Structure 1
Amino acid sequence: MAEKATIPYEIKNVTEEEDKLVKKYYKDYVRPFIRVGPHGYFWMAGFGDHAGDIYNLEVRPDDIWVVSFSRSGTTWLQELVWLIANNLDYEGAATTPLTKRYAFIEYPTQTSEIRKEQPPSVNSNHRATFDDFRNLHNLTSPRFVKTHLPLSLLPPKLLDTAKVLYIARDPRDVAVSFHFMHKLFRYFDEGVTFEEFWDLFKKDLLLHLPIFPHIEEAWAKRDHKNMMFLFYEEMQKNLQSVIDKVSKFFGKDYTTEQKEKLAEYLSFENMKKSSGFKFGKSENKDSEITFMRKGKSGNWINYFNTDKMKKEAEEYFEKHMKNTDLRFPEIN
């Protein structure tokens, strides 16, 4: 058996001051939070326990991996990819939840250290995942894999072996959606304001952050033959064009009628109505603490609702964009 590679990155605790601050919000964790690698990706201590296991996962040539920073359109892309790769099997999509069709590999590393695990939901659609890094090797091919890890923390031969699709979204819109996700999945109490959340976001003191290096790692590999780099805004602006690109990436040839039907199926409103994604505070139709929220680009401006926050958001964005040729598509 080949010797396992050591993850080539330093894993260290956040500072005592940072740990004290984030534990006001992430209350169900005992051990210090960690930073990983030169970019200092922020994570729960549980990731440090298994970073090597994930880095050493065996990748198969027929694997299909969907990679993203959280709340960047991951679910939307997962459904599109699965249907295109599976010859538009709508029945299979309807009868098997997405969380069963994809293994969410690092999910157990985020587990609360205090709160007891909740029993699986009666509605299995609402489980975060059925499979992860611990049993990925047992799954039959072709395997569909989801992860919010940056490329540098994934198996080093991933891109040279399997197909990878990465989706990026304007980080300001991500910040808003990520805020509501933290409440939906009970990482944070519902009373936490967006201003408090933004303070943590800009300091890279939230799960998966920093976001710009995460995106830029994939952007740097966008011309690799096994990489498909997409933007959330691109999918929103011209979904049929994205369907064409992904179909070509998989060597699939669908008729115009078939692609139009797929675009209709994947419209945000139809996805939001689907029972597979309909969870959260569904008894309150106006609540934003729900999995499929608004799906709008540029909507961040409505949540940075003070002049100070708007200025900070613009400065944060401009600071990180000035040294890259990465540009997010504009949506009118």
Structure 2
Amino acid sequence: MAEKLIYPYEIKNVTEEEDKVVKKYYKDYIRPFIRVGPHGYFSMAGFGDHAADIYNLEVRPDDIWVVSFSRSGTTWLQELAWLVANDLAYDGAESTSLTKRYAFIEYPTQASEIRKGEPSVNSHHRATFDDFRNLHTLTSPRFIKTHLPLSLLPPKLLDTAKVLYIARDPRDVAVSFHFMHKLFRYFDEGVTFEEFWELFKKDLLLHMPIFPHIEEAWAKRDHQNMMFLFYEEMQKNLRSVIDKVSKFLGKEYTLEQKEKLAEYLSFENMKKSSGFKFGKSDNKDNEVTFMRKGKSGNWINYFNTDKMKEEVDEYFEKHMKNSDLRFPEIN
């Protein structure tokens, strides 16, 4: 058994003022929220309890990891990667939920400290069946999902296993993340997007800050075991992404097979699937649902005051000015 690594990052509580603000929204938590590492990644205290356990997870050469900031197209990429790796086993995909096929490693660390239960949409949908606690018991090849940045994952991850990272324009993420907080009951139904944006820009939300999260993966985009993708890229040319992922995972498929896969993975088809059809209602106009709109650039409809428009422009420009990272535009 490999010697356990000492956790290299500082874990500290947010300031008392920040904790007071955050607990107006994340109401089911008792201990102070924390920041981790030099980027100050925000999390529940539960992550601090197990950060070293996750950092020391065994990584296997035949693992496939899907890594992302939340609400960046993770589910879409998970389904694509699993099908490509499993010889387009549509029957298996339809008979076994994605949450059973992938271990969501850090999920228990986000659990409510008051309700004593892990966040869930409802009793019929589990966010995961497996996590860091039993990952070592799963048979290979393992499929693993995480919203943690690369720096908080096992240090030998990229040199050992295949990693697919998907990034999305943070302005669109902000909108989708807002509705996710309601869907998973982290926040009350009445929390407005304006309130959520105040927390987002101050990095007072789970997994924040988003730009360092993305840039950590962007910096590793040329590593032989890294496939860096954009959500907008999948929207614009899904067939091209299927080609890339197939090559990355060492699989070859006919043109006809890839066309069928692209049709299967279309946003509308996935939204109709019983595996993703959960939320407040099946009303196509309801926002509090797992598969929402799948549109890029829709953020502009939510930053709808002069103040918010000015703030989001300043926020985006500030974080992009010293980076060569650029999000593809969708017309």
TM-score (norm 1): 0.98
Question: Structure 1 residue 206: deviation in Å?
Answer: 0.1
Mapped to 2, the partners of 1:266 and 1:312 lie a distance apart of 35
Q: Distance in 1 between matches of 2:66 and 2:123?
A: 27
Letter in 2 for 1:67: V
What CA distance in whole angstroms lies between the structure 1 residues aligned with 2:212 and 2:17?
A: 24
Paired AA for residue 176 in structure 1: V
C-alpha deviations, 1:212-267, integer Å up to 9, x for none? 00000000000000000000000000000000000000111101110000000000
Equivalent in the alignment of 2:189: 190
C-alpha separation in 1, matches of 2:297 and 2:282: 27
- Structure 1 CA distance, aligned partners of 2:192 and 2:18? 19
Aligned to 1:300: 299
Instruction: Give me the whole-angstrom Cα distance separating, in 1, the residues matched to 2:38 and 2:155.
Output: 16
Deviation at 1:3, TM superposition (A): 2.1
* Counterpart AA for 1:50: H
Q: How many residues align?
A: 330
Residue matched to 2:41: 41
| Structure 1: 5+ residue stretches without partners | none
Q: Which residue of 2 aligns with 1:137?
A: 136
C-alpha distance in structure 2 between counterparts of 1:283 and 1:222, whole Å? 38
Alignment correspondent of 2:170: 171
Change (3 A) 1:118 1:2: closer
Provide Cα deviations, 1:68-123, integer angstroms capped at 9, x if missing partner. 00000000000000000000000000010000000000000000000142799664
Match of 2:28 in 1: 28
> C-alpha displacement at 1:283, in angstroms?
4.7
Equivalent position of 2:53 in the other structure: 53
Equivalent positions of 1:53-92 (< 5 A) are 53-92=53-92
Residue 70 of structure 2 aligns to which amino acid in structure 1?
S
CA contact (8 A) 2:193 2:302 kept: yes
Q: Aligned ranges for residues 261-300 of structure 1 at < 5 Å?
A: 261-300=260-299
1:212 aligns with 2:207: no
241-250 or 112-121, larger mean C-alpha shift: 112-121
Output the amino acid matched with 1:206: L
The residue type equivalent to 1:22 in the other structure is V
Once the two structures are superposed, residues 154-196 of structure 1 have per-residue CA deviations (whole angstroms, 9 ceiling, x without a partner) of 0000000000000000000000000000000000001000000
Cα distance in 2 between the residues matched to 1:170 and 1:117: 31
Equivalence map 1:203-282=2 (5 Å): 203-282=202-281
TM-score, normalised relative to structure 2? 0.98
Give SS of 2:128's match: coil
Superposed displacement of residue 7, structure 1: 1.3
Partner letter of residue 331 of structure 1?
Answer: I
Q: Alignment partner of 2:221: what SS?
A: coil
The residue aligned with 2:8 is 8
Equivalents in 2 of 1:67, 1:122: separation in Å? 26
Deviates more, 1:112-121 or 1:231-240: 112-121
- Residue 282 (structure 1) shift: 1.6
Distance 2:177 2:118 in 1: 22
Change (3 A) 1:119 1:245: closer
**CA root-mean-square deviation:** 1.2
Partner of 1:199: 198
1 CA distance for matches of 2:284 and 2:261? 27
Contact 2:246 2:252 survives alignment (8 Å): yes
